[in-house]
Amino acid sequence: MNLKSLILIAILILTTARISFSVQEKKSLPEVTLISIYDNYQVDTRLTTAWGFATIIKTPQELILFDTGGNSEILLSNMKKLGITPFSIKKVVISHIHGDHVGGLEGFLERNSNVTVFIPNSFPQSVKNMIVQKGAKFVEVSAPRKISDSIYTTGQLPGPPQEQSLIIDSKKGLVVITGCAHPGIVNIVKKAKKLMKKDKVYLVVGGFHHPPISCVKEFKELGVEKVAPSHCTGDLVREAFRKEYKENFIEYGVGKIVEIN
């Protein structure tokens, strides 16, 4: 074999490897990634835990911040440790008025005001004024609506307090993300299915607000495939979900990254 053919073979091998690598790269790009950046449960020990909830929803198009926890310093420091800059976020969705979900908003807007904040329209004028004063825009949510490609809000559901949850229409099925689930976690899942006219619920993640243990059975009946209860779910219910769902129970808490392919 002469040198010319050897070089040719080498080029051929390298090109094939590159093609297969790029195909693999494309394949492994998740449709949606959920990143817990604030929770009272901990997964990544480098991060700070505190009572509250905040999760980033990363799509190939954009990053959405769902809730802001109770303290912006903790929120921003956890984001920094995970390599997420506040400027990469263009949309913020706040589930409900409680301090452990809205408390980090003001400090976040001080860092990045180039965002649209989706708030339940029952929010007090003081919060709306604060958002505008910081230089951001807000959208008042009452009815269900689209937030982004494949991402919807349930609209403001009765609590108290009134609360919105997010629904991702993923290839695997619906993904429901709740802040505190004051309108009732089972109600929210039922509402999501009805709104989207889809029966397959792939994942329910977030605070479930101390539901009765019987909700585990109701989840099974509703056909919920995976669960990731955190924040205000309550340890007993969380453990009941873990026992029932086994490998389909996701340990959700600050630092947890869930890829939905």
**Which positions touch Zn ion (CB under 5 A)?**
98, 100, 180, 232
DSSP 3: H
Work out how close the CB of 182 gets to Zn ion at its nearest, in angstroms, rounded to a whole number.
Answer: 6
Work out how close the CB of 151 gets to Zn ion at its nearest, in angstroms, rounded to a whole number.
Answer: 21
Work out how close the CB of 199 gets to Zn ion at its nearest, in angstroms, rounded to a whole number.
Answer: 29
Among 34, 61, 56, residue whose Cα is nearest residue 175: 34
Q: Judged by CB, which is closer to Zn ion: 54, or 84?
A: 54
Q: Judged by CB, which is closer to Zn ion: 173, or 253?
A: 253
DSSP 47: S
Q: Judged by CB, which is closer to Zn ion: 52, or 144?
A: 52
Among 155, 118, 151, residue whose Cα is nearest residue 137: 118
Q: Judged by CB, which is closer to Zn ion: 59, or 230?
A: 230
Q: Judged by CB, which is closer to Zn ion: 98, or 134?
A: 98
Work out how close the CB of 34 gets to Zn ion at its nearest, in angstroms, rounded to a whole number.
Answer: 17
Work out how close the CB of 129 gets to Zn ion at its nearest, in angstroms, rounded to a whole number.
Answer: 22
Q: Collapse the DSSP code of 71 into the 3-class scheme (helix H, G, I; strand E, B; otherwise coil) and give the result.
A: coil
Q: Judged by CB, which is closer to Zn ion: 100, or 186?
A: 100
- For residues 130-156, b (16+ Cβ closer than 10 Å) or e, as one string? bbeebebebeebeebeebbebbbbbbb
Q: Collapse the DSSP code of 42 into the 3-class scheme (helix H, G, I; strand E, B; otherwise coil) and give the result.
A: strand
Work out how close the CB of 191 gets to Zn ion at its nearest, in angstroms, rounded to a whole number.
Answer: 18
Among 55, 79, 50, residue whose Cα is nearest residue 67: 55
What is the residue whose two structure tokens read 């589930």? Answer: 95
Among 259, 221, 226, residue whose Cα is nearest residue 242: 226
- Cβ proximity of 115 and 91 under 8 Å: yes
